[in-house]
Amino acid sequence: MAEAVRHDNTARQLRLLSDALDSGRLGPVRRLVHSLAPAEIGNLLESLPPDRRMVVWGLVDPDDDGEVLVHVGDEVRESLLADMDNDEIVAAVEDLDIDDLADLVDDLPDTVIDEVLKSMDRENRERLEQVLSYPEDTAGRLMNPDVVTVRADTTVDVVLRYLRLRGELPDHTDHLYVVNRRHQLMGWVALQALVTNEPGTPINRLIDDELTAIHVDDQADDVARRFSDHDWVSAPVVDNGNVLMGRITIDDVVDIIRGQAEHQALGAAGLDEDEDLFSPIRRAVRGRVVWLGVNLLTAFMAASVIGQFEVTLERIVALAVLMPIVAGIGGNAAVQVLTLMVRGIALGQVGPSNASILLWKELRVAAINGVLIGSVVGLVALAWFRDWMLSLVIASALLINFSAAALAGVLLPLLLKRMRVDPAVAGTVVVTAVTDIIGFFSFLGLATLILLR
């Protein structure tokens, strides 16, 4: 076999590819691309600016086209599809698994969908329509209807003979599903059990009927969690009548988990996780400006708070110098609490039953951090402006803002969650709006009360 290839990561491939493209020699590029798995090609295409992306896309083995399309983000997929004529698209996607095809269908031109449906046999067409009938992000939409089933009243050697006749199994088949006459799920038998038990063993004795199947309506997040809690490689999907509809495999689950992580990381900055690194300018602007607008609104709210204290600011200019510190550090403290809460909510670890305990804990942490950070800032302010009272005002304002940060960090994500707004996406804007406003108000307000007397 080939020597273990080390560090064959995208960055290196990218450099090689970039050098080859620079030199105009397409032969090495083609060889490199043909040596990659479809997911790796997808990753590579995403890392290329549009012109080069199209050159490389033209060099991909047409047999890989469909799988590559499955493995790129929506925006990049659109740009790749725009480069293909309908016949090419049909050829690329018609051999995909049903679940992958269902993933793509929204992005395909109607004429292509018609062609693909025509090229399928009736059974597969019906299966595809079935899968498409479930909402996105449900188990029904994720499942692959291609499953291998056996009956309970048979033996290992009969099953093995059946499998030899059947030939190749669907990818990631680690279990066969045991169904009754009405195709209801009775349990599953591990492939491992088939190869480690004597030929005469009744299937009945090898059935694991402890599994809780996935329901077609289950949410993708729940499915992912159950896979990782139970270390499944595949799991059966059933409908209300416990009829076996398909199965979900670990590769889909890995995609869900990666997708959640991207959604969280990008969503927190107001970005769409499908944003192409090389989006056309107009699209990138459109994608970001809305978010900046939302933040602008909160910035104006904070500014209007400051505006209430113009008289105070005119008389003590040091307040203008120091006020961003109060607001900024309060925001940092709030984001820390928020981040812990968002993780806890995502893992199902935080709910009404422990929210008050968490709030109490965070308030105590805030009190200590408020005193610590407040003292440091107070001392620096004292050294800078030589004003004991100013120093006391900023330290107190920081303590107040730390408490506000704890309150907002614990309560707002729970509130957002209840309002069905994703706290991972909206949380940061909301809590920092609170700490900006409370920060400016407490600092300038205390200053007005104490320093302007």
Q: Which residues contact 301 (CB under 8 A, 6 or more apart)?
A: 433, 436, 437
Q: Which helix (H) or strand (E) holds 196?
A: helix 191-196
Q: Which two tokens stand for residue 187?
A: 């349990």
Burial of 167 (0-12, 13-18, 19+ CB in 10 A): exposed
Q: Which two tokens stand for residue 121?
A: 């046999």
Q: Alpha helices of 268-317 — where are they, by DSSP H?
A: 281-307, 310-315
Cβ-based nearer residue to its own copies, 379 or 389: 379
Cβ-based nearer residue to its own copies, 91 or 367: 367
Indicate the DSSP class of residue 64: G
Smallest separation (angstroms) from its own copies to the CB of 103: 15
Smallest separation (angstroms) from its own copies to the CB of 265: 6
Q: Which two tokens stand for residue 438?
A: 């409370």
Smallest separation (angstroms) from its own copies to the CB of 113: 26
Can you tell me which residue has the tokens 């499944």?
232
Cβ-based nearer residue to its own copies, 117 or 294: 294
Burial of 213 (0-12, 13-18, 19+ CB in 10 A): buried
Give the strands of the sheet with 185-190, arranged side by side: 149-150, 175-179, 185-190
Would you tell me how many other CB atoms lie within 10 Å of the CB of residue 3?
Answer: 5
Smallest separation (angstroms) from its own copies to the CB of 94: 21
Q: How many helices (H) and strands (E) does the chain have?
A: 22, 6
C-alpha–C-alpha distance, residues 54 and 48, integer Å? 9
Cα dihedral sign, 213-216-220-221 = negative
| Radius of gyration of the CA atoms of the chain, in A | 29
Smallest separation (angstroms) from its own copies to the CB of 123: 21
Cβ-based nearer residue to its own copies, 357 or 419: 357
What is the distance in angstroms between the CA of the first residue and the CA of the last residue of the chain? 84
Q: Which two tokens stand for residue 373?
A: 């950070």
Smallest separation (angstroms) from its own copies to the CB of 165: 9
Smallest separation (angstroms) from its own copies to the CB of 116: 23
C-alpha–C-alpha distance, residues 313 and 441, integer Å? 12
Cβ-based nearer residue to its own copies, 120 or 191: 191
Smallest separation (angstroms) from its own copies to the CB of 236: 9
Cβ-based nearer residue to its own copies, 116 or 377: 377
